[in-house]
Amino acid sequence: MIRRRLARVVAACALLAACAACSPSPAPAQPTATAPVAAATTERLQGAQVADAVTAAYQSASTVHVRGTVPNPKQKGGSVSIDLQLSRDAAAGTLALGELVLPVVRAGRDYYFQFTAADVQIAKLAPSSPAGRALIGKWVSSKVQMSLFKNMPGDVVTLLDYQGFMGNIVNAIRRNPITDNGTETIDGVSMLAYHDNESATLDVTATSPHFLTRMTAPPTSQGALTFIDWNKAFTVTAPSPADIYNGPIGVA
């Protein structure tokens, strides 16, 4: 019974990841543009050069902090919130869809999802019940509870993978022709600004390497993503065994 109920939360997690893998959409955003010290080379980029430059920049780095919102294709006007620190072999942060707030950790090939009181209620468990109390604050491991996670879609893995996440972002940039929209300054940092024919926008640092700092989608949608702390080191530690739920889920 608990296994079936927890599967509901995993399904919601999968929806979160699928939504977060979509292109971002616009909303008011005031990003703090933080990028590594770059060579003092300013150049105008046109067309496919933008995606090429963004690719070269993220491939030269090893970490980024992504935050903001993307549209929820399953709910008109709905959105998914993202706050993730990504590196080449680790990730940490939160995903939020309505009342579902899901802390996530990736340590190497292991993925962990923490259950909050709201998540337990989504699993149709009373937070005050013995099963609910056993789950709240605990992490569920995709490695240990394999029967629960064996059908997890690739979106979850891609979302918590630096290379995969940024690769999807660059693909989104390449999908539509973009137009030079001049320059702007965000928090004292000079940016090259672009928009497409639907008024979606993106900003990249004006000096090389050209790090992506912000993306929004057409005004018909909601949300925006900002990309900060490029190459800023952070530490991710897998949950301790005492913090991992080992209740009656069953393993494959």
Compute mean pLDDT per 10 residues along the chain, 252 residues long, and list them: 41 45 40 41 77 95 92 67 93 84 88 82 77 84 57 62 89 85 89 86 92 85 87 92 74 33
Residue 27 confidence (pLDDT):
34
**143 assigned to some structural domain:** yes
Sign of CA dihedral 179, 57, 63, 189: negative
Q: In Å, how far are 82, 88, 225 from 112, measured between CA atoms?
A: 16, 17, 23
Give per-residue pLDDT as tens, 117-150: 887 777 677 888 887 788 888 888 776 554 445 5
Q: What is the largest CA-CA distance in the chain?
A: 62
**142 assigned to some structural domain:** yes
Residue 248 confidence (pLDDT):
61
**62 assigned to some structural domain:** yes
Residue 39 confidence (pLDDT):
43
**215 assigned to some structural domain:** yes
Residue 132 confidence (pLDDT):
79
**246 assigned to some structural domain:** no
Residue 245 confidence (pLDDT):
83
Residue 145 confidence (pLDDT):
52
- For residues 119 and 170, give the distance between their C-alpha atoms in angstroms, rounded to a whole number: 32
**188 assigned to some structural domain:** yes
Could you tell me the strand order of the sheet in which 63-71 lies?
Answer: 139-141, 110-114, 100-107, 90-97, 79-87, 63-71, 224-228, 212-216, 201-205, 189-196, 178-186
Residue 62 confidence (pLDDT):
95
pTM beyond 0.85: no
* Domain containing residue 111: CATH number: 2.50.20.20
Q: Are 50 and 213 in contact (CB under 8 A)?
A: no
The DSSP code for 218 is -
Structural tokens at position 17? 């990841």
Q: Which domain holds residue 48?
A: 2-236
**229 assigned to some structural domain:** yes
**244 assigned to some structural domain:** no
Question: Structural domain tally of the chain?
Answer: 1
